[in-house]
């Protein structure tokens, strides 16, 4: 690398003069910060709240980590909030490694560690409850990081994010970290209206390009036609004709036999007599294809805890082994060391030996029903590159740092708590965004397994949409209104309802009037 020019040295000196903390923070990182990361850090140091919208894996959490850095440098407090306990646990360990256990605490429904520390990691619900209770821990709070803030679109829990944003003290700077959404400016306008000066930083650049594939009949096919740039497919890109031909051949092979054919029983017909596509490729065969294509490690999303466990069992029964003898020995050593304090009889009940056998072969499940000790061990082994395939539910897509070369989707439908629904473009982007390890891979891979209900046009619609609108899920019900009045009183409850992002999207004038009324009350 050549020495900097006089002009570059002058620019660096001015940068250090105007943003000394950001300069120190950037110098402590192992890589050069991207422009959007620098912009977010600068806005924060200048005293503004910031909304950072960037693709999964682009490194937007750097801006959240700078808020932690600033709080410690200034002698103030920073709360780092996440949607789920697993992500809170991981972020806690990450920050402890950088800043020391004495400076970092953890608050989830399961754990309370060093809760009086200047930096505390917690789930968003914990912070919401602290605000309603006027907790003394809020004194001295200067920064709040809301990781995965686009989660406010979740129809079951999304309202919690809006309640926190509305109830935080006016002098708290908010760091909102979101996936790339098409209406980031609209969301930023609402944040500015209810929180004050807010900078919106948007990046649509993925550091590692993402290829889109379909696995059909034991072979991988690109989703798009050959002339399409997968990093910029544009609207309605043409489908790979070879892929379409392969699926059509599979349908013909599974078409019903004619009367008089041996064994004819009318098989191969779906609803309304339509031909049914061939059975999906078995999970162990998918793993074999990925291994042969050098596309491991992989996260294999199955929207069922039982399905994740069954996938590991199926691979073990098929004799899948993805590790060397040295890797298997290292896996056993780490797992046995982590579980050394668990009585042997408890390990028997927990299925420890089958779990350990899967780990040693490079296979594991990851879901909310797994023992936390087992789950954390899986995360550690996958992050170290020892476990090669993790069968996971969608919670693994929420920011947990388990980098993979490939992401596999078994289906494009999931259970949302009340019905089976199709994945949205945002969910598809969030899931497949885990593929591609920065600094390791030149390309990530999203793989959809062909199955009878696969709609290629629908898949193209999901894969080719790079952004999607963020819609508020805040829907005040009688139950919510009663609880709000009981917890915070009638006046404050009305403020929450009038100043929500949902109300802003319906009529931003109402939110502005509500804010002015609150300021002059």
Q: What is the pLDDT of residues 107-152, one digit of tens each?
A: 987 778 999 999 999 999 999 989 888 899 999 999 999 998 888 8
Q: Is the pLDDT of residue 238 over 50?
A: yes
Rounded to an integer, the average pLDDT of 492-513 is 75
Compute how many other C-beta atoms are within 10 angstroms of the C-beta atom of residue 255.
12
pLDDT-based confidence at 513, cuts 50/70/90? low
pLDDT at position 483 is: 72
What pLDDT score does 1 carry? 44
Mean pLDDT (the chain) is 84
**Per-residue confidence at 315, pLDDT binned at 50, 70, 90?**
very high
- Residue 359 scores a pLDDT above 70: yes
pLDDT category, 249, cuts 50, 70, 90? confident
Predicted confidence at residue 163, as pLDDT, reads 87
Where b means 16+ CB within 10 Å and e means fewer, 341-354 reads eeeeeeeeebebee
Burial category of 340 from C-beta neighbours within 10 Å (exposed 0-12, middle 13-18, buried 19 and up)? exposed
Give me the pLDDT at residue 229, please: 81
Tokens 């619900």 correspond to 125
Q: What distances in angstroms separate CA 354 from CA 316, 347, 360, 494, one per listed residue? A: 9, 10, 10, 54
Average pLDDT over residues 442-463: 89
Band of pLDDT at residue 365, cut at 50, 70 and 90: very high
Look at residue 301 and tell me whether its pLDDT is greater than 70.
yes
Rounded average pLDDT over 277-292: 85
Q: What is the mean pLDDT of the segment spanning 177-191?
A: 88
Position 105 pLDDT exceeds 70: yes
Region 460-471 average pLDDT: 80
Look at 148-157, 275-284, 413-422, 474-483 and tell me which has the smallest mean pLDDT.
275-284
Binning the chain into helix, strand and coil, the percentages to the nearest 5 are 45, 15, 35
Question: Average of pLDDT values for 415-442?
Answer: 82
Confidence of residue 521 (pLDDT cuts 50, 70, 90): low
Q: Which residues contact 432 (CB under 8 A, 6 or more apart)?
A: 210, 407, 409, 444, 446, 463
Average pLDDT over residues 181-191: 89
Nearest-angstrom CA–CA distance, 110 and 73:
30
pLDDT at 223: 92
Joined together, the tokens standing for residue 42 give 């600068």
The pLDDT of residue 274: 37
Q: What is the distance between the alpha carbons of residues 501 and 427, in angstroms, rounded to a whole number?
A: 21
Mean pLDDT, rounded, for 60-67: 94
* Range scoring the smallest mean pLDDT among 36-45, 56-65, 99-108, 245-254: 245-254
Strand partners, 80: 121, 145
What pLDDT score does 127 carry? 94
Say which range, 26-35, 348-357, 475-484, 511-520, has the weakest mean pLDDT: 511-520
């Amino acid at each position: 690398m050549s020495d900097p020019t006089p002009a570059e040295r002058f620019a660096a000196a001015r940068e250090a003069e105007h943003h000394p903390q950001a300069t120190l923070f950037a110098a402590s990182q192992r890589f050069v910060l991207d422009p959007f990361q620098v912009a977010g850090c600068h806005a924060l140091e200048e005293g503004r709240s910031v909304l950072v919208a960037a693709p999964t894996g682009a490194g937007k959490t750097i801006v959240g980590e700078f808020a932690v850095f600033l709080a410690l440098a200034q002698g103030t407090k920073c709360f780092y909030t996440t949607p789920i306990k697993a992500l809170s646990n991981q972020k806690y360990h990450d920050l402890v490694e950088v800043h020391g256990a004495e400076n970092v605490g953890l608050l989830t429904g399961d754990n309370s560690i060093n809760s009086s520390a200047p930096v505390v990691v917690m789930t968003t619900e914990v912070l919401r409850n602290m605000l309603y209770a006027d907790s003394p821990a809020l004194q001295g709070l200067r920064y709040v990081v809301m990781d995965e803030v686009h989660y406010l679109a979740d129809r079951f829990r999304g309202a919690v994010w809006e309640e926190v944003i509305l109830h935080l003290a006016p002098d708290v700077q908010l760091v909102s970290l979101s996936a790339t959404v098409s209406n980031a400016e609209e969301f930023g306008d609402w944040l500015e209206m209810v929180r004050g000066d807010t900078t919106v930083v948007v990046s649509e650049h993925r550091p590692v390009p993402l290829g889109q594939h379909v696995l059909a009949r034991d072979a991988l096919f690109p989703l798009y036609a050959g002339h399409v740039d997968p990093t910029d497919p544009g609207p309605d890109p043409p489908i790979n004709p070879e892929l379409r031909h392969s699926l059509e051949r599979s349908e013909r092979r599974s078409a019903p036999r004619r009367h008089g054919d041996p064994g004819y029983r009318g098989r191969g017909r779906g609803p309304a007599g339509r031909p049914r596509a061939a059975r999906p490729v078995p999970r162990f065969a998918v793993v074999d294809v990925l291994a042969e294509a050098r596309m491991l490690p992989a996260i294999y999303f199955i929207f069922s805890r039982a399905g994740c466990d069954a996938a590991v069992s199926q691979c073990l029964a098929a004799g899948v082994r993805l590790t060397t003898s040295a890797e298997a020995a290292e896996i056993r050593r780490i797992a046995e060391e982590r579980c050394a304090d668990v009585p042997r009889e408890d390990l028997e009940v927990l299925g420890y030996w089958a779990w350990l056998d899967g780990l040693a072969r490079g296979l594991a499940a990851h879901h909310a029903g797994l023992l936390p000790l087992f789950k954390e061990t899986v995360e550690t082994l996958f992050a170290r590159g020892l476990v090669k395939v993790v069968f996971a539910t969608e919670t693994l897509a929420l920011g947990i740092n388990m980098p993979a070369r490939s992401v596999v989707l078994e289906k494009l439908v999931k259970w949302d708590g009340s019905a089976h629904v199709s994945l949205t473009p945002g969910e598809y982007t969030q899931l497949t965004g885990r593929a591609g390890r920065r600094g390791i891979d030149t390309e990530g891979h999203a793989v959809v397994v062909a199955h009878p209900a696969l709609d290629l046009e629908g898949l193209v619609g999901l894969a080719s949409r790079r952004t999607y609108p963020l819609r508020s899920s805040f829907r005040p019900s009688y139950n919510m209104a009663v609880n709000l009045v009981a917890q915070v009183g009638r006046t404050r409850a009305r403020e929450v309802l009038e100043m929500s992002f949902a109300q802003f999207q319906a009529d931003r004038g109402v939110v502005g009037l509500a804010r002015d009324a609150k300021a002059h009350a």
